[in-house]
């Protein structure tokens, strides 16, 4: 116990309720614990290119305050570092069922390669082809059975002392038959992230969880965006079904649903006629209705134009982004504007403040340029996007340094394509500007708002063909 539970000597009061691991500001106790984890890693020389680490502040039955530490997956190729909590299930034992079966599957792979290499002039005999097919079927069956067996070994506890394995958790969480058919089992690696490991160990040892945080240590990977020392929410694809079970029995802080004052948070109408409306969307207002019924630009404009065919949303801004939008009021205008966006004849210009001056030397050397980083949604952590040079869709942004005033440089961003979160990713990624937009909770750090504003919009009027250009001064 002494190796896993690390006492904290402090006057800082713990929170009244456990934090929501998917939406939180790290408590001061977690920040203190994270600094001790970083110091330990530096002391013992556990360096990797980058790793997600986590801390769980908890209390022993005698009242002693302390914390547990964890790493996602393996650390320096191992899962048995004694200073950190152990894995929920250790699949790395050389003589265990998992590794033994893995070696058997590898032997089948080797046999398939040998048979495939026996082809004469690229042609296999019918007997050899049949052997390969049998081996591949055997390999597939063994792999599926091994994965199912492995998930059954992860028996996750909750605060009430109840237990379910990952297969049960996954099926209970996904009530939709369509989702169950498409994703019958959890993604690989489920149960090996920091948060499940921390809670599992705390429950096993009779500790009282108080608050938790996860943070990145080391360099950012080339695909997803992670910054040294930044705190991140638990991933949704792997962890949400698991944590919703494991948190049952804890008094968890709920993030209150946003209640927007629709009297003050209204889109400003800059232009309107029988075909279109051009509005300025305030930060914090959705473009289209969300899952929980919050007001949106579409909803509010429907009240203004009750007899129109629209309003029809042609393009979107993120909820936290402010600025210009063109709205179609007829089907004809909608299809015409949609074509213009698809043909990339619509011109948009944004202004943003960057989180810090860390990229100033890069920006001063190249005050304007092009960022081209193809992107895809992260299937395990939506709505987060990742950079994927092989499979991503083309995403191109032109940028220009407008002001190098410290501590937040101001840049203009002109998207030449229209991918989700394109500007936010292109600013934050190491191969982009390498500095998140100020207030970006997904790719940087929270602030009072996301400092991104669509300040200029130019397009052809659907009826007259006239080129219209609208401007909206930045509110920051």
pLDDT at 363: 93
Tokens of 381: 């952590």
Burial of 286 (C-beta count, 10 Å sphere; 0-12/13-18/19+)? buried
SS3 label, residue 241: helix
456: Cα within 13 Å, side-chain hemisphere: 12
425 neighbors 432 (Cβ within 8 angstroms) = yes
Per the residue annotation, which of 192, 318, 320, 440 is the catalytic one? 318
Nearest to 237 by CA among 188, 309, 171: 188
Nearest-10 Cα torsion for 40, 45, 51, 56: -20
Which among 264, 235, 274, 265 has a CA at the least distance from the CA of 380? Answer: 235
Handedness of CA 27, 29, 35, 37 (dihedral sign): negative
Return the closest-CA partner of residue 454 out of 402, 398, 409, 414: 414
Instruction: Tell me how far CA of residue 351 lies from CA of 42, 222, 418, in angstroms.
Output: 39, 26, 16
The strand pairing partners of 349, in sequence order, are: 456
Counting as low any pLDDT under 70, the low residues of the chain are: 1-2, 48, 255-264, 291-293
What are the backbone dihedrals phi and psi of residue 328, each rounded to the nearest 5 degrees, phi first?
-85, 140
Please say whether the dihedral angle defined by the alpha carbons of residues 328, 330, 331 and 336, taken in this order, is positive or negative.
Answer: negative
What is the model's pLDDT at position 2? 55
Query: What does the radius of gyration of the chain's CA atoms come to, in whole angstroms?
Result: 26
pLDDT digits (tens, 9 = 90+) for 181-219: 777 889 989 999 999 999 999 999 999 999 999 999 988
How high is the pLDDT of residue 258?
46
Report the relative pairing of strands 208-218 and 231-232 from DSSP bridges: antiparallel
Rounded CA gap, 295 and 260, in Å?
Answer: 7
Strands 452-460, 322-328: pairing kind: parallel
Shortest CA distance to 454 belongs to which of 432, 474, 476, 425?
A: 474
The DSSP annotation for 436-450 comes to PBTT-TTTS---SS-
Separation CA 281–CA 319 (nearest Å): 9
Cis peptide before 361 (omega within 30 of 0): no
- Specify whether 318 is catalytic: yes
Query: Using CA atoms, how far apart are residues 416 and 425, in angstroms rounded to an integer?
Result: 14
* Angle between helix 166-173 and helix 126-153 axes, rounded to 10 deg: 90
Instruction: Mention every residue, 6+ apart, whose C-beta is less than 8 A from residue 325.
Output: 267, 278, 279, 280, 281, 287, 297, 313, 315, 316, 317, 454, 457
């Amino acid at each position: 116990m002494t190796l896993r539970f690390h006492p904290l000597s402090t006057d800082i009061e713990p929170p009244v309720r456990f934090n929501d691991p998917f939406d939180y500001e790290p408590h001061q106790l977690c920040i203190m614990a994270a600094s001790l984890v970083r110091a330990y890693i530096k002391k013992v020389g556990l360096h990797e290119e980058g790793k997600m680490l986590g801390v769980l502040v908890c209390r022993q039955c005698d009242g002693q305050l302390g914390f547990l530490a964890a790493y996602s997956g393996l650390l320096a190729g191992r899962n048995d570092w004694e200073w950190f909590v152990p894995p929920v299930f250790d699949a790395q034992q050389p003589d265990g069922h998992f590794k033994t079966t893995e070696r058997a599957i590898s032997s089948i792979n080797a046999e398939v390669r040998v048979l495939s290499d026996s082809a004469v002039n690229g042609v296999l005999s019918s007997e050899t082809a049949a052997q390969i097919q049998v081996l591949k079927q055997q390999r597939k069956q063994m792999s599926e059975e091994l994965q199912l067996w492995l998930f059954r070994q992860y028996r996750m506890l909750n605060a009430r002392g109840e237990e379910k394995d990952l297969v049960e958790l996954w099926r209970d969480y996904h009530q939709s038959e369509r989702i169950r058919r498409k994703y019958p089992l959890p993604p690989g690696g489920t149960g090996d992230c920091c948060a499940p490991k921390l809670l599992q160990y705390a429950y096993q040892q009779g500790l009282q969880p108080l608050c938790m945080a996860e943070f990145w240590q080391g360099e950012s990977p080339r695909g997803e965006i992670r910054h040294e020392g930044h705190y991140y929410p638990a991933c949704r694809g792997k962890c949400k079904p698991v944590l919703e079970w494991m948190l049952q029995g804890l008094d968890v802080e709920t993030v209150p649903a946003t209640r927007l004052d629709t009297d003050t948070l209204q889109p400003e109408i800059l232009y309107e006629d029988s075909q279109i409306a051009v509005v300025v969307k305030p930060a914090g207002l959705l473009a289209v209705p969300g899952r929980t019924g919050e007001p949106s630009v579409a909803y509010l404009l429907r009240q203004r134009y009750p007899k129109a065919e629209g309003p029809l949303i042609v393009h979107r801004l993120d909820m936290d982004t402010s600025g210009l939008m063109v709205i179609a009021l007829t089907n004809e205008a909608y299809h015409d504007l949609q074509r213009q966006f698809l043909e990339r004849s619509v011109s948009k210009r944004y202004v943003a403040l960057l989180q810090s001056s860390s990229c100033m030397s890069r920006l001063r050397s190249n005050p304007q340029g092009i960022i081209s980083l193809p992107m895809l949604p992260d299937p395990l952590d939506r709505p987060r996007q990742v950079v994927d040079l092989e499979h991503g869709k083309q995403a191109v942004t032109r940028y220009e340094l407008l002001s190098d005033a410290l501590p937040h440089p101001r840049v203009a961003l002109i998207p030449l394509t229209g991918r989700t979160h394109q500007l936010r990713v292109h600013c934050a990624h190491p191969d982009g500007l390498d500095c998140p937009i100020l207030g970006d909770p997904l790719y940087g750090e929270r602030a009072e708002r996301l400092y991104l504003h669509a300040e200029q919009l130019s397009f052809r009027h659907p009826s007259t063909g006239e080129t219209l250009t609208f401007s909206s001064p930045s509110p920051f």
